[in-house]
Homo-oligomer: A and B are copies of this chain.
Amino acid sequence: MKKLLNDPTDVVRDSLRGFAAAHGDRVRVDLDQRFVCRGDSPRPGKVALVSGGGSGHEPLHAGFVGRGMLDAACCGEVFTSPVPDQILAATSAVDGGAGVLHIVKNYTGDVMNFEMAAELAADADGTEIAAVIVDDDVAVQDSLYTAGRRGVGTTVMVEKIVGAAAEEGRDLPACRALAERVVAGGRSMGVALTSCTVPAAGKPTVDLGEDEMEVGIGIHGEPGRTRMPLAPAREIARLLVEPVLADLDFTGAPVIALVNGMGGTPLLELYVLYAEVAALLDAAGVPLARNLVGNYVTSLEMAGCSLTLVRADDEMLRLWDAPVDTPGLRWGC
């Protein structure tokens, strides 16, 4: 295992120390409770957005804390759900009296712990809490860690679009309804060329042969649909685009696309894949309105990528374009 670390068991805490040193002008980092929140929290009268999950997927989620996106992110151990106390502490820290929306990727532990924290927060502070579960991965129905579909790239879209709506002053039911519309229109599919190594484990999570790739892999290395010989980018693009388009009709609406690197794939290659994806979508009559190409939902140093498409509308595009000021996504500010 070759990593930039001190003690592998301290990696999340050490990384949060660095995050605080780099971005302390805009965020607060609670090193004990392991969450990051906006420096100006709580914002009275604004619905607060809280997300979180296992670490190792950076910039998701802490990198998306800031104006126009998340109010707080809870950072679990690597590939491990945050605990209810963390989520409760983050929720209390950002509660501005207008309610809190929990944005939860669909992993059994995350869902359970966010639910428990919501009950605790409601009991303790009377905070009004709503939750949206992101379950956009079309690869498999049930998986290691997950009942139902896993939550992946659409999470970024929910955080950005609903973050902008909350910034505009929309109330909790409206934020929740919008989040559910984004989730309903979002689909993802990923592929891994190599494994990653969880620091505390010290050995590769997945045993992938020299000429193999895992199609439909999860962001923690969970098994996908099929393991097959490494293929050219145009074939990999087809393996990602076809199941996504088969699952939802993306024609006739503006689409936001994310070609997401899993950590170890160079940007040079992500653009090679984007060219193939864009050609396939064009041939299928899917109009690409916005895009992101880069590392947004990573799996440590895994080589590979995922495709996320969100069926949007004019309102979602306007909220997508609205100012955002976070370490991981920034424009208009």
Contact = CB atoms under 8 A, between A and B. Distances in A.
Interface of A: 2-7, 11-12, 14-19, 21-22, 55-56, 58-59, 63, 78, 193-194, 210, 213, 230, 232-234, 236, 259, 263-276, 278-279, 291, 293, 295, 298, 300-301, 303, 305, 325, 327, 330-333
A233 B6 contact: yes
Given A17-B272, A18-B274, 13 more contacts: A6-B233, A7-B232, A11-B272, A14-B233, A14-B272, A15-B275, A21-B278, A22-B278, A55-B268, A58-B271, A264-B301, A267-B295, A293-B327
A327 B267 CA distance: 12
Contacts of A213: 2
The 10 A-B pairs with the shortest beta carbon distances in the complex, nearest first, are A18-B271, A18-B275, A18-B274, A58-B267, A4-B269, A21-B278, A17-B275, A2-B193, A15-B271, A14-B272
B265 A4 contact: yes
Copies of this chain held together in the complex? 2
A18 B301 contact: no
A15 B268 contact: yes
Contact of A275 (B21, B259, B291, B333): B21
B22 A274 contact: yes
Chain B CB within 10 A, most for which of A14, A193, A295: A14
16 contacts: A2-B210, A4-B273, A5-B272, A6-B232, A6-B276, A11-B272, A12-B268, A14-B275, A17-B275, A18-B274, A19-B271, A56-B268, A263-B264, A263-B266, A301-B303, A331-B331
A291 B22 contact: yes
A274 B303 CA distance: 23
B6 A272 contact: yes
Contacts of A263: 264, 266
A74 to B, nearest CB: 15
A327 B259 CA distance: 14
Contacts of A63: 267
A194 B2 contact: yes
A4 B193 CA distance: 9
A192 to B, nearest CB: 10
Given A233-B5, A278-B21, A305-B4, A58 B266 contact: yes
A211 B3 CA distance: 11
Contacts of A275: 14-15, 17-18, 21
B267 A301 contact: no
Contact of A234 (B6, B16, B268): B6
A18 B293 contact: yes
Contacts of A234: 6
A278 B21 CA distance: 7
Given A55-B268, A56-B268, A274 B21 contact: yes
